[in-house]
Amino acid sequence: MMLERTARMMNFKIEFNYLNIDNYPSIESHLEEMAKKGWLLRKIFMGTLFLYKKIEPTTLDFSISPYEVETFFTRKSKTDLEEFQTVSENVGWNYVDRSYDLYIYYKSENTNAVPMHTDEEEEFKLLERIAKRYLRSQYILFPLIILMSWGTIGSIFNNVRPMKDGWIQPLAVLLPFICSLSLIQIVDLRKFIKTNRENIEQGRRLTFNSTNQWIYKTNGFLFFLVFLILAVYTLYSIFILKNSRVLTMSLPIVAGVIIGLMYRLWIKPLRKGLGFKLGSFLLTLLIAGLVGAPLGMLNFKLLTSSQEIIDPNDYQVLMLNEFIDEEVDEQGNLTRDISFLIPDSHEYTAHFGSLYIRTEYSNALNESLAENLVGRYIKDAKNRLRGKYSQEIHQSFLEGVYHPDLKFSGLTEHDFNRLYNEEANSETSAVWDLINSQSITETNQLWNVDEAYYLSYEKDEVLLRDGKEVFYIEGLDFSDPDVVKQAKVQLQLNE
Amino acid sequence: MNFLTYIERRHTLNLNISIDDISDVDTIEKRKIMTKPLTQPMYYILLSLREERHGYEIMQYVEWLTDGRVTIGPGTLYSLLSRFEENKYIQMVSKKENKKIYLITGLGHEILNREIKRLENLLNDARKDGENDEFQNRI
């Protein structure tokens, strides 16, 4: 609303609408109405964001004409398009903008101009070609979005990382909408082709879609909103948080754009057969991979070195020098993040030779989210224990002999023999319940915080929650009161 | 459509088209070439391109030829021109001031002549329709 108000003051207007090959006549009428109210269309972004300029209220005729400029493998030269536009202007139509394969023209009411399309059968043939192309891309896109939604939304509810990640949360909101939009578009386009094929065969006029428009408009709005959030987050993450991970993550996108550009500039305009173009496309991918991989590594190294400008002393993290007697030149990477659920978080791993200490700090939006995060850390710890000892457990129950490494898991030889005699096996829940209960134990009295747990039997992993703050620390013997005392000082926790 | 069926059809329709002419044209289009009559704008565009012309000239020529009865909009014209060029009904012969100049091909000629023949047949049938007595006395 604020955006719209500001825009109106600045003599332009922003509107979320929807333009596609199956509804453009209704948009023509809408644009005519807008011109009568004194708003002339200037630009359309992604078929949904309409930008108008203030004019004197006037009666204009709009014509939106489908014109296929390019398919995946063919591209008409710029001259083709220029000639089409020049001729359209010669016969009296003024060009406004294009949105994908639709070209938008207007003329004043009194100008006599040949209509852009004079034959509905030909118009439909073109629309059918374009619609089939859109459908083909939707058939590829739809299963991919389903897979992506499944993975993203699943991780949002279960894992630690997505709670802190500023990218995944807005995406998780957007993906179900994109998914439903893709499905609706498939249904609408198929219906559009079928109905109009019958219309043409029976000499009737073309019919266009007028339902479901609000879904497209809402999606358009959401898409731009999420896109804006992601763009702001990316910039903030790179420039303010100095987060190398974001830059590394954006590398595949940059590589994708470069591959697309290379293909578009050099291969698509060639007047060669489909086989040649497909071969060239694969070759471009190969070259991009070969060139991109070393570049990516170099980029990663440069970015990692740039991280040293963040001083870990300014953060609540554990540093090696505070816990060992002699002064060492400790190395470490500190990464910071922001997200809706965890507005402030950072991770730091201090290492020197084989020694390391890791700190993960999260300041959640509220206490219940912090409690939720603690639950996820515990779940993660259980999964880690299972991953770490499943082979030894399996072997032990198979051979009936206690594996010596299991003494670090919390399962004693005595307990193993008891369970073995009770005919338990590696999948018996009692076995894992016992390991979990021995490894993940409360340790409140030492830490004096709201929640405190050891996450390993060796007591070298600790999870703490103090109000909205959650700490995960790893790498020291936290059963030692002196270590805990020093850690509390560094983590700025109450004595 | 495989080439054998295509050759068979070619003989049925008595078209003088060689396989080379349409070997690059996609299968669906090949089927359309053989079975469907031309639409009005298709017919007039092919008719105009018996002489070298660019897009705007085609529009003006058709309007002149039909005394304004038939007009072809730029949207219709340019989508047809590109489809015709892709399907080898027409070819670009030169470029003048950034305008592509086209001319009908051998395949385009055959398609157009077949359409003219079809239209002549329709017209003859309409004329013949007046001679009802002949039908009554045929036995």
Question: Tens-of-pLDDT digits for all 495 residues of chain A?
Answer: 555 655 566 788 999 899 999 999 999 999 999 999 999 999 998 888 899 999 999 999 999 998 876 555 555 666 677 888 889 988 899 999 989 889 999 999 888 888 998 889 889 988 998 999 999 999 999 999 999 999 888 888 889 989 998 888 888 888 888 888 899 999 999 999 999 999 998 989 999 987 778 888 888 888 888 888 888 888 888 777 777 666 666 666 777 777 777 777 777 666 666 677 778 778 877 877 777 677 666 666 666 555 555 677 778 888 888 888 778 888 887 888 888 899 999 999 988 888 889 999 999 999 999 999 999 999 999 999 999 999 999 999 888 899 999 888 888 999 989 988 888 776 778 889 999 999 999 988 889 899 999 999 999 999 999 999 999 999 999 999 999 999 999 898 877
d(CA A85, CA A461): 68
Residue of B nearest to A113 (CA): B73
Give the number of other Cβ atoms within 10 Å of residue A239's Cβ.
Answer: 9
Provide the b/e sequence for B113-127 (b: ≥16 CB within 10 Å): ebbeeeeeeeeeeee
Backbone conformation region of residue A11, classed left if phi is above 0, alpha if psi is from -120 to 50, else beta: left
Q: Is A408:A458 a contact under the CB 8 Å cutoff?
A: yes
> How high is the pLDDT of residue A286?
81
Q: Tokens representing A438?
A: 């021995």
Q: Which of A100, A95, A81 is nearest to A19 (CA)?
A: A100
Residue of A nearest to B78 (CA): A84
User: B108: number of CA atoms within 13 Å, CB side?
Assistant: 26
Residue of A nearest to B79 (CA): A67
Inter-chain touch B78–A82, beta carbons under 8 Å: no
d(CA A224, CA A229): 9
Using a CB–CB cutoff of 8 Å, tell me whether B78 touches chain A: yes
What phi and psi values does residue A268 have, to the nearest 5 degrees? -60, -40
Using a CB–CB cutoff of 8 Å, tell me whether A127 touches chain B: no
Q: Which of residues 273-312 of A touch B (CB under 8 A)?
A: 273
Q: Is A359:A471 a contact under the CB 8 Å cutoff?
A: yes
Distance from CA of B65 to the nearest CA of A (A): 16
Inter-chain touch A68–B79, beta carbons under 8 Å: yes
Q: Mutate which of A67, A114, A271 to test chain B, going by most B C-beta atoms within 10 A?
A: A114
Inter-chain touch B100–A83, beta carbons under 8 Å: yes
Using a CB–CB cutoff of 8 Å, tell me whether A201 touches chain B: no
Closest CB to A118 among B42, B73, B95: B73
Inter-chain touch A84–B73, beta carbons under 8 Å: no
Inter-chain touch B56–A79, beta carbons under 8 Å: no
Q: How many CB pairs under 8 A join A and B?
A: 81
- Residue B71: list chain A partners with CB under 8 A: 114-115, 118
Residue of A nearest to B60 (CA): A91
Distance from CA of A122 to the nearest CA of B (A): 6
User: Which residues are bridge partners to B95 per DSSP?
Assistant: B100
- Residue A93: list chain B partners with CB under 8 A: 74
Closest CB to B79 among A82, A122, A273: A122
Given the cut 0.90, state whether the ipTM is greater than it. Answer: no
Using a CB–CB cutoff of 8 Å, tell me whether B68 touches chain A: no
Q: Quick check: helix, strand or coil at residue B94?
A: strand
Strands in A39-45's sheet, in edge-to-edge order, are A12-16, A49-54, A39-45
pTM: 0.73
Using a CB–CB cutoff of 8 Å, tell me whether A80 touches chain B: yes
For all residues of chain A together, what is the average pLDDT?
85
